[in-house]
Amino acid sequence: MTTIDELLTRGVAEVIIERELRERLAAGKPLRLKQGFDPTKPDMHIGHAVGLRKLRMFQELGHQVVLIVGDWTAQIGDPSGRDETRTRLTAAEVRSNAETYMEQFFRVIDRSRTEVRWQSEWFGTFGLEQALDLAGRFTLAQMLAHETFRKRYEAGAGLTILELMYPMLQGYDSVAMQADVEFGGTDQKFNILAGRELMAQLGMTPQQVLLLPLIPGTDGRKMSKTFLNTVDIGMAPNEMFGRMMSMSDAVLPLYFEVLSERPMVEVHEIRQSLATGTVNPRDLKMGLACEVVAQFHSPADGEAAEAAFVRQFVQRELPTDIPEYRLESPTPLLDLMVATQLAPSKAEARRLIDGGGVRIAGERITDYAVVLQPGAGVVVQVGRRKFVRVV
């Protein structure tokens, strides 16, 4: 029962041009919704899910998704927001990344109302003449209006002419696909507007634009693998649930707005009750975590993950905001304890184990020689207050 107003505002950063998009929606004709992706980093997280969910809602209104696999632009690498020229991928890497991406994409999107198109369909037969024609339609001044380009040029960085061509190619996708609406993050605004410009130059009706917000990670900082604050769509149910539970109270209302099915009126109540302290944030987090796992896996997976979480943390009175520590290789317990400051030295670590104060996944440890594996997901506990989750 989503209204058009909610469709165009909830979890939406900007609509260009809103009046025109409303008119197109009101006309009742199925629209071609362009969503492109560069198969460079196949791991999608809930930040991407915001856009996928929005696309899905449009699908449910009868519109058609056109998923563009950027097998050509991936080989350039979108320069948006980047400080350096990107390394170019091989065709095999691109194909494999695209498969991983699509496996995740179709956890949210209805495959039966999606056209998957590879850029090589049109760029594979593109000649130099067409490339030069595109390059003649944009001035350097227009391109340097792009903050990324301007900053890199002004910093003396090695911005290549190749990178200046990226927005044109993305724009041409819209021409080739006769897109009605393009979806993308706010960092895509420049590239998507290049598509509008190109369509207008070629006498087509320029596409409408729906820009999605970049949401913060679970800890409120910029979402980034380095910060371990992402919730990846590819995560197994229990890991996904656990990572959702690590979110800070501050991001909770926004996450409800963009990731849950709750009506906006309920989201406002949640924000209110958190502000006045009339609700236990952990209960809200469990509810949202369950809903998110259900979206990317199944409702049963959501409930099972919740039950497992309760067994592991709530009943054993573990905190839910245990810091994570990423192992690169198998690591002896004594080394880990020193590295994570669970013990000041290996000698002290041995003394703690001798005293029976060290547990792994709830089991008391008596053997110094235990080795922890990367990705184990187990909690190492020292005494009642010190915890580290090994990932």
Q: Which residues sit at the interface with its own copies, rule CB under 8 A?
A: 72, 75-76, 88, 123-124, 126-128, 130-132, 135-141, 143, 149, 153, 156, 158-162, 164-165, 168
Please list, residue by residue across 13-27, b when 16 or more beta carbons sit within 10 angstroms of its beta carbon and e when fewer do: eebbeeeebbeebee
- The CA distance from 343 to 152, in Å, is 45
Handedness of CA 235, 241, 247, 252 (dihedral sign): positive
Task: Report angle CA 261, 266, 270 to the nearest 5 degrees.
Answer: 110
CB of 82 to its own copies, least distance (A): 14
Q: Which is nearer to its own copies, 75 or 114 (CB)?
A: 75
Structure tokens at 225: 């693998």
CB of 79 to its own copies, least distance (A): 11
Residue with tokens 């949401």: 215
Q: DSSP states of 334-358 as a string?
A: HHHHHHTTSSSSHHHHHHHHHTT-E
- The CA distance from 44 to 25, in Å, is 29
Q: Which residues contact 216 (CB under 8 A, 6 or more apart)?
A: 222, 223, 229, 251, 254
Angle between helices 46-60 and 281-296 (to 10 degrees): 60
Q: Which is nearer to its own copies, 123 or 309 (CB)?
A: 123
CB of 77 to its own copies, least distance (A): 10
CB of 383 to its own copies, least distance (A): 57
- The CA distance from 195 to 179, in Å, is 10
CB of 143 to its own copies, least distance (A): 7
Q: Which is nearer to its own copies, 139 or 278 (CB)?
A: 139
Q: Which is nearer to its own copies, 67 or 76 (CB)?
A: 76
Secondary structure (3-state) at 66 = strand
- The CA distance from 263 to 270, in Å, is 11
Q: Which is nearer to its own copies, 137 or 262 (CB)?
A: 137
Q: Which is nearer to its own copies, 1 or 161 (CB)?
A: 161
Q: Which is nearer to its own copies, 98 or 143 (CB)?
A: 143
Q: Which residues contact 336 (CB under 8 A, 6 or more apart)?
A: 325, 327, 342, 372, 380, 388, 390
CB of 48 to its own copies, least distance (A): 26
Q: Which is nearer to its own copies, 87 or 329 (CB)?
A: 87
Q: Which is nearer to its own copies, 191 or 218 (CB)?
A: 191
CB of 211 to its own copies, least distance (A): 25
CB of 133 to its own copies, least distance (A): 8
Q: Which is nearer to its own copies, 137 or 359 (CB)?
A: 137
- The CA distance from 183 to 35, in Å, is 5
- The CA distance from 56 to 60, in Å, is 6
- The CA distance from 281 to 369, in Å, is 39
CB of 138 to its own copies, least distance (A): 5
CB of 191 to its own copies, least distance (A): 14
- The CA distance from 389 to 225, in Å, is 16
Q: Which is nearer to its own copies, 141 or 369 (CB)?
A: 141
Q: What is the DSSP letter of 312?
A: I
- Are the CB atoms for 49 and 233 separated by under 8 Å? yes
Residue with tokens 């979806």: 183
CB of 144 to its own copies, least distance (A): 8
